[in-house]
Amino acid sequence: METVSEQRCFGGVQGFYSHTSAETKTGMRFAVFQPPQAKDSPVPVLYYLAGLTCTEETATIKAGAQRLAAEYGLMLVMPDTSPRGAGIDGEDVDWDFGTGAGFYLDATEVPWSENYRMYSYITRELPELIAENFPVKSGTAGIFGHSMGGHGALTIALKNPDQFKSVSAFAPICAPGQCPWGEKALGNYLGEDRSNWASYDATELVKQRATDQHILIDQGADDQFLEQELHPHLFEKACKASGQALTLRFHEGYDHSYYFIQTFMADHLTHHAKILGSL
């Protein structure tokens, strides 16, 4: 692991780091905010997954999460959204597929399967790297995200409830098997057999079993992608059927932007801090 930069921030340290990933077989970058409490003892860690076209810098700069994370003693880890520079023909053609659009899954279709392994990167390789290099309190990890990253947070948490104790999302893609963004990504990464898509579809996953997690979702009522791409009502229906605890909140006047995320970031950090024991 190499340090790209480190700056003082709310009494802690905001850093950017890089390493060569065994999962993606490319260089990867990620950001870590270490709260001031991390100087004295290990702290809970919260992973934030960003959306389409974003990088490790997007939420780090725009979300306004560091102030409250410093107060609560939460470490924030913000990875990139896909491999970069894999050399795959067509990876940079579309904004909603390929570079910047890894969808937090392990691709099975050639040529994507060699490098596009963001699920394994987020659930195994990156947590191991963080644990080796930062003062993380064992067994106290949470995950949240926005849009495509909200999809990633929900699916990863539902499949790994013992690893990620807390979960929330801003405007997540709740049913990727039933929206254009998801159909494009899952079809190309996982193949045409839709039965293979279910393991990366939060609505389908929650139908199979409920977890002990209490899921928080915030959604802007004026989100331009709400009707066609996000489908929180489908996830809500599936949660009710399976008994999954869910708080789904709609907010009039808010869209899909980071102004929306900034507005409700404190609620999400409080949600995670309570569950992870830093409040």
Q: Does the active-site annotation cover 223?
A: yes
Nearest to 103 by CA among 200, 29, 225: 200
d(CA 279, CA 265) in angstroms, rounded, equals: 16
205 DSSP assignment: H
d(CA 228, CA 166) in angstroms, rounded, equals: 28
Q: How far apart are the first and last CA of the chain?
A: 31
Q: Does the active-site annotation cover 256?
A: yes
Two tokens, residue 59: 């939420």
- In the block, residue with structure tokens 């102030």: 67
Two tokens, residue 145: 């995200």
Helix, strand, or coil (residue 136): strand
Are 80 and 152 in contact, with CB atoms under 8 Å apart?
no
Helix, strand, or coil (residue 219): strand
Measured between alpha carbons, how far is residue 170 from residues 99, 134, 216 in Å? 22, 27, 9
Catalytic entry in 21, 147, 166, 278: 147
Catalytic entry in 80, 106, 201, 223: 223
φ, ψ for residue 4, nearest 5 deg: -85, -45
Catalytic entry in 256, 268, 271, 272: 256
Report, as residue numbers or ranges, the catalytic residues: 147, 223, 256
